[in-house]
Structure 1
C-alpha cells in the first residue's frame, strides 16, 4: 500500500503563510518606481542690489537656503553673485543676530555675546577635540582605524564649526559671507549688466538645463524669453515679483525660499516640466511640404480628398520609387 498523502499536503500548506508575505513584499518592492534624483544642471546668478534677502536673516544663511532651493531643481553647477563695490546690506535685528550668529554649531547652545561663545568653544570643544586627536595618535593597528571611524563625525563637526568661527572673526565685507556659502563673487560697477552678459554666455554654452535668476530687473525679460522659447532652458526667478516672474517658468519670493516652500514645490514643478516635454514630442505638427488637393468626380458621389507629400501620393512611403509596383 502507498503511504497516506496527508503529510505531503500539510507541508506546503504550513509553509505558505510564511512565504506569502515575502513574495508580496518582493512583488511590491519591484513594481514600486524608485525616486529619481534630479540630474539637470542648474546655474544660479544673483544680483544682490536688485534682489535683497530679508533683513532678518544673515547673508550666509540666505545663500545656503537659496542653494537648497536650487538643488531641488537639479545639480548646481554654477553659482555667481554680482556686487557693487560700495553696496551694503541693512543691519540685522538684535534678536535674530543673537539667535543665529552666536550659536554654537557643536552643541547647539545660544549665547548673547560673541566673546562668551568663543570662551565656551575654547574651554570645552577645543579641549575635547585635542583629547580625541591624542587618543587616535596613541592607538595602533586595527584599533586606530576603528577609533578614527567612530570619531570621524565629531571631528568633522568640530572642524566645520571652527572654520565658521574663524571666518566670522575677520568678516569685513559681503563677499566673505558669500564665499563661505560657496558662491563666486564678482565686483562690478553695473551688476545687472554683468549678470545679463554672464547669463547669455551660459545659454550659448548649452551646458545647463535650468537657469535661476535672483533679480527683479525688467531688463531680464528678453533673456528669459530667449531661454524658454529658443534654448529650451527652464527658468526660475527669485525675488522678482513683477516683470521677470511673469516671463519665467516659475517664480518665488524670498519669503518662500527662506521658509522652504520653494524647495518643497520643486518636485511637482519638475514633474510638470517633464510632462510638458513628453506632450511636445507627441503633438502633431503641420508640415508645409504637404499639399492637400480636393477633386470632384464627374458622378455625384461626393468630393475625393487626395494628399500629396513632396510630389508623391499619400499612400506611398519614402522608400518607394517612382517605378515601384505591387508584385502578386
Structure 2
C-alpha cells in the first residue's frame, strides 16, 4: 500500500504546474556618467600678465587651474613663465572669515587658534598612530600601516599646508608643489609665445589653455584654430578671450565654473568635428581635359561612306559588263 501512495504522490507532483524559474536579478545600472575627454591638454601660464587673486595662495590657484584644465582633457603639459624678481603675495589670514582645519574640517576665526588646535589634537593623534605602527611586528604591522595610511597622508598634507602658509617659499617652489613646471625668463610673454608655437608645430596637444591677458597672443589662437586645436583663455578680462573657443576669468576658475561648463563645450566640439568630417566639398578638377570632337575625321568618314555608296556591289565584277558586250 505504501508504494502505491508513493507513486500517486509522484504523479501528482509531476502533473502539478511548476512555478516559473527564478531569474537572476540584474544589477541595477544607472545612467553612465559622462566620461572625461581624453584630449591632450597643454597649460601655458604667463604669471606676470595674469596673476591669480591675492587672497588665495599661489599653490591653491595652481591646483584649481589644473582642475579646470583637466575638465577639458588629459593634462599633458603645464608650464608657468615668471620673472626672476617675482615675489609671492602672502594672503592676510585676518581677511578670511574662518580658518579651516584640513583634518577635521573645524573652523576657527584666528590662525593662532587653528595652530593650537592642530598641535593639541591632531599632532598627538599622529604620534600615537606612529607608535602603534612601530610597536607592531610582522603581518599585523603591515595591515595596521595599510589601514592608517589614509589618515597619515591626510595629516602630512595638512601640516605641509600650514607650514607653507606660515613660511611661504618662492613662487617656483609653490608651483612645483602644485605640479607646474616653472621657467624663469626676463620676458615671460615672449617665452610663452615661443613655447606655444613649438607645441602647435609639434601637434602633440589638441587643446591649448593660455593663462594670459596679452592681446598680442591673438595670432597664436588663430593659428590654433587653423590647425584644429581647441583654445581656452583664462584671464577673460582682456580682449584675448574673443579669439578663443571659450574664455574664463580667474573668479570663474576659483569658483569651479569651468568644470561645470566643460562637458557642454566638449560635446559641441565633438559635433563640429563630426560634421566637418562628413562635409562634402566639390572641387573642380582642373586636370580634366575637355573632349574635343575632330570635325576632319567626321568629314573623312562621311566621304568614305558616300564613296562606298557610289561603288558597284562586290558581286558584280568589272569583267561582267565587258563580257556581256562581246557576247551581244
CA distance in 2, matches of 1:40, 1:178: 23
Q: Which residue of 2 aligns with 1:66?
A: 65
Does 2:235 match 1:227? no
What is the deviation of 1:253? Answer: 1.4
Any gaps of 5 or more consecutive residues in structure 1?
296-328
**1:40 offset after TM fit, Å?**
1.4
Residues 210 and 233, structure 2, Cα contact 8 Å, conserved in 1: yes
After the TM superposition, which parts of structure 1 deviate over 6 Å for at least 4 consecutive aligned residues? 292-295
Shift of 1:114: 3.9
Contact map agreement 2:36 2:71 (CA 8 A) in 1:
no
Q: Which residue of 1 aligns with 2:152?
A: 155
Shift of 1:142: 3.1
1:43 lines up with 2:51 in the alignment: no
Counterpart of 1:9 in structure 2 is: 17
Q: How far is 1:73 from its partner?
A: 0.8
Task: For 1:288 and 1:218, locate their aligned partners in 2 and report how far apart those are by CA, in whole Å.
Answer: 40
Contact 2:93 2:111 in 1 (8 A): no
Q: Distance in 2 between matches of 1:44 and 1:195?
A: 10
For residues 122 and 104 of structure 1, what CA distance do their matches in structure 2 show?
11
Q: Distance in 1 between matches of 2:70 and 2:235?
A: 17
Change in 2 beyond 3 A, CA 1:148/1:6: same
Residues 175-219 of structure 1: CA deviation (Å, up to 9, x unaligned): 333232222222222111111111112222222111100111111
Tell me which of 257, 261, 268 is aligned to 2:257: 261
Work out whether 1:277 is the aligned partner of 2:283: no
Asked if 1:246 is matched to 2:242, the reply is yes
Structure 2 CA distance for partners of 1:89 and 1:132, relative to 1, 3 Å: closer
User: Do the aligned partners of 2:94 and 2:110 also contact (CA within 8 Å) in 1?
Assistant: no
Deviation at 1:137, TM superposition (A): 2.0
SS across alignment from 2:52:
coil
Kindly report which structure 2 residues correspond to 1:268-307, keeping only aligned pairs within 5 A, or say none.
Answer: 268-289=264-285
Q: 1:175 aligns with which of 172, 178, 199?
A: 172
Residue 19 of structure 1 is aligned with which of 23, 26, 48? 23
Call closer, same or farther: CA 1:204–1:133 in 2, change over 3 Å: same
Task: State the distance in 2 between where 1:225 and 1:259 align.
Answer: 28
Checking the alignment, whether the CA contact within 8 Å between 2:57 and 2:90 is kept in structure 1 is no
> SS in structure 1 opposite 2:218?
helix
Stretch deviating more after TM superposition (67-76 or 103-112):
103-112
Distance 2:235 2:68 in 1: 13
What TM-score comes out, normalization by structure 1 length? 0.75
Q: In the alignment, which residue of structure 1 is the partner of 2:52?
A: 53
Q: 2: distance between equivalents of 1:96 and 1:59?
A: 16
Tell me if structure 2 keeps the 8 A contact 1:237–1:245.
yes
Pairwise CA distance, 1:136 = 1.5
Is 1:128 paired with 2:125?
A: yes
Distance in 1 of aligned mates of 2:89 and 2:136? 52
Of the structure 1 ranges 68-77 and 82-91, higher mean CA displacement relative to structure 2 is found in 82-91
Q: Which runs of 5+ in 2 are unaligned?
A: 1-7, 293-328
Q: Deviations over 1:270-324 (max 9, x none)?
A: 11111111111111022232769899xxxxxxxxxxxxxxxxxxxxxxxxxxxxx
CA distance in 1, matches of 2:55, 2:15: 76
Give the structure 2 partner of residue 77 of structure 1: 76
SS in 2 for 1:236: strand
CA contact (8 A) 1:212 1:237 kept: yes
Shift of 1:55: 3.3
Classify the secondary structure of the residue corresponding to 2:17: helix
8 A contact 1:82–1:188 mirrored in 2: yes
Q: Which residue does the alignment assign to 2:307?
A: none
Task: Give the whole-Å Cα distance in 2 for the aligned partners of 1:281 and 1:63.
Answer: 36
Distance 1:274 1:78 in 2: 22
Q: CA RMSD in A?
A: 3.0
TM-score, normalising length from structure 2?
A: 0.75
